[in-house]
A and B are shown apart, each in its own frame.
Chain A
Amino acid sequence: MANDHIDLVVESGQIHSLLGENGAGKSTLMNVLYGLYSPSSGQILVDDVPVSFSGPADAMAAGIGMVHQHFMLVPVFTVAENVALGAESTSFGGVLNLGDTRRKIREISAQFGFDVDPDALVEDLPVGVQQRVEIIKALVRNSKILILDEPTAVLTPQETDELMEIMGQLRDSGTSIVFISHKLREVKAISDTITVIRRGKVVGSAPPDTSTTELAAMMVGRAVNLTLNKADATPGAETFKVSNLTVMNDSGHRLLDNVSLSVSQGEILAIAGVQGNGQTELTQAVLGLHKHVLGSITLDGKELVGKSVSQVLESGVGFVPEDRQDDGLVGELSIAENLILDLYKKAPYSRGGTLNRSAIAQNSVEKVSEFDIRAQSPRDAAHTLSGGNQQKVVLARELSRPLKLFIASQPTRGVDVGSIEFLHKRIVAERDAGTPVVIVSTELDEVLELADRIAVLFAGRLMGIVPGKSSRALLGLMMAGLSAEEASEQMQSQKESGTTGETGEGVQL
């Protein structure tokens, strides 16, 4: 059961936040409100009138619009075609008349300062603009209630600020907004009311001035330690070096452009940036998963570029991929088998070409207890585990070899808060054991939590490397394409003109 007897009242002209962990049932609830899923019991009232939705068309007719977490836009269509789809204005015989739609898009665009070209192809637009197209889609349909499902997950801090401003404008023009998020900071900054959901149930409401720790406790169900206690790094020798690394796709477009960085033993370097700015390619290049790589990557003085994946792993690289279900685990195999995916060829797991079942079982029992993997039995298929426990399996496997370099991509994406704490502690422990650690994360909170130094990637280029305790505003500017120097200059000049309060820091507590 994803939702269990949920009661929710959204007042008109309000921003009502729905706070909950990944998998708490927020999205399910909203998909019910939008007519995508049908509820097994209970009812929905709009303006005190009971409604029943057999599909999204009914929900839209009742004035509910939704901006999905994964945009519902056809990439090869223009903005106007996407907005028109499903509510097209036509002339005789069903012939499309997009002029009308273009005019409406321009109107809304002007009203809220969206700057959206109705004739641009959606696939050519940056993510932030695509999101505005989604909002326009809802507004064109005269939505009174707008549901935003994790809208900030794909945005830079600045884009997030802009979105918050748009949400404020919409509220002032009388639209009710349901804002779904698991980010406490954003929820506190924008909401009129907060409803917290845990395991499919409403656990309570809170005013926006509730403290972060209180909200976190409601969300998780117990007191959580939000700050990680980690000692300052004691960097040793620089053993991992990336110099002038360029990665290209098949048509020669640079996905990673001349990136140089190095990581010392006993240090965590976090790679920050909005999704899709070259982070994936960087990790692929290190692992030997990418075809077109120029430049050099050395570990302990040995060149990794041009080596096969097994040679790279052999040289002591541990790697947690960003998509654990596709790349990190084989879902149909058991937990025990997943724990030895990298070592099955070696003793004691292999005995003359056959698997040593007892050694594998022995290993799984040890790892399950060491990494607190919550499973019925190590023989269960890996896909039956929750996200957090799956990630623990991946981490347990990758940390089981003696490492000279540890890379983790999105180590806590879609993982519950309890597991995040654990995973972060293990990563810091690996650092303290003297391994150079690279963390790739799009969550700024996580970057600030773990990093000793932060490298920011934008459009495949390195914007600079800054200390781990840098401000969010600075990182936000770098994530939007300013070099470290340009960003700090801009911060400086704004501080002097006294406008800092309205800028990058706007959503700060």
Chain B
Amino acid sequence: MEHDIVIIGGGPAGLAAAIAAKEAGADDVLILEREKELGGILNQCIHNGFGLHTFKEELTGPEYAARYIEKARELKIPCLLSTTVVDLQREGGGVTVTSVSRQDGLLQTRAKAVILAMGCRERPRGALNIPGTRPAGIFSAGTAQRLVNLEGYMPGRRVVILGSGDIGLIMARRMTLEGAKVLCVAELQPYSGGLKRNIVQCLDDYGIPLKLSHTVVDIRGKERVSGVTIAKVGQDLKPIPDTEEEFECDTLLLSVGLLPENELSRAVGVELAPVTGGPIVNESLETNIPGVFACGNVLHVHDLVDYVSQEAAQAGRNAAGYVLGRRASGGEGIPLVPAGAVRYTVPCTVDPARMDSEAVVRFRVGRNMRRAVVTLKAGDKELLRKKRPVMAPGEMEQLIIKRDWLTGSEESLTLEAREEE
């Protein structure tokens, strides 16, 4: 089998990328999706709040997904469902995609371009090395969400949540609405990793305490969780002795971070960035492997699906440009260097010779800031200065670089965020 563009993943990123690629003139696009439906994780996100930026209305997850699924259907974009990609290898000028499924068996598809849209997974308990027993009743928040929203079963009745990522906050409310008692949400950092609106709407509105600078230091229970111990942590994030507090509960939900799922990217030789865990990409969202693009949560973890869709559309257009011979590949580009509170940028390089009239740069800061100022500089020359009253690690930021600002001879561009003096 041969296709111009193969898109791995039919969640919000894969769908938007496929639609944009097709609309940009790439006719032969195929989506491979491991679930039996398109839509990805949106299908289990039955709460509303999706699409405010894109559609100017508040949709549920499945409603947001449906808009893209319908569009993909209208454009007659083929997709193989219940199909898991198990390997990616460079071959000739393209990539061979190996997938398996019940209905089609083992397939090897030759693609001129590939768009990585595999999303992310949740960090498990083991990665945190939380001491204690290993009973039933410990779930990552997303697994619990699937059990409640898709399967119709309750993971537990008395719940402690570790981590204040958005899924944890959403699940605090969801479990409460289903009749469970959520005792508290403990967060290691002195700030929440989730959106402010979720803290208000999911915790404050239900009287669920958020314990910042706290973590779980022990899990009890032989067969099923019977309790957890929570302790305050110091500035070094280490538990402070004699601050332990015991909670009797049957369930511990973990919302302690999302990890871009890049095993396939690694297999094909894509270079990953240590901070994001996602591919290193240029302004076209192309990786170090020509014709392999990345977008959505596999590239870096997003807070809003609207931004995933925007980013993915950009990847889709560029992949179309690549297969139609309209967009050059590779090249050095000008490195974008994060400074001050900026933790990372996507993309990592910008090539003025290739870029459209504008390039979007997405980034996050590493701490809570008030009266912040963001600057983009080429050497001493300030290209952009933006004031931001509040910045938070939980909220993704973006700015636009205009091609007109660049001469092409810049050695690097520095993106910095700091408090106003």
Q: Do A and B bind each other?
A: no
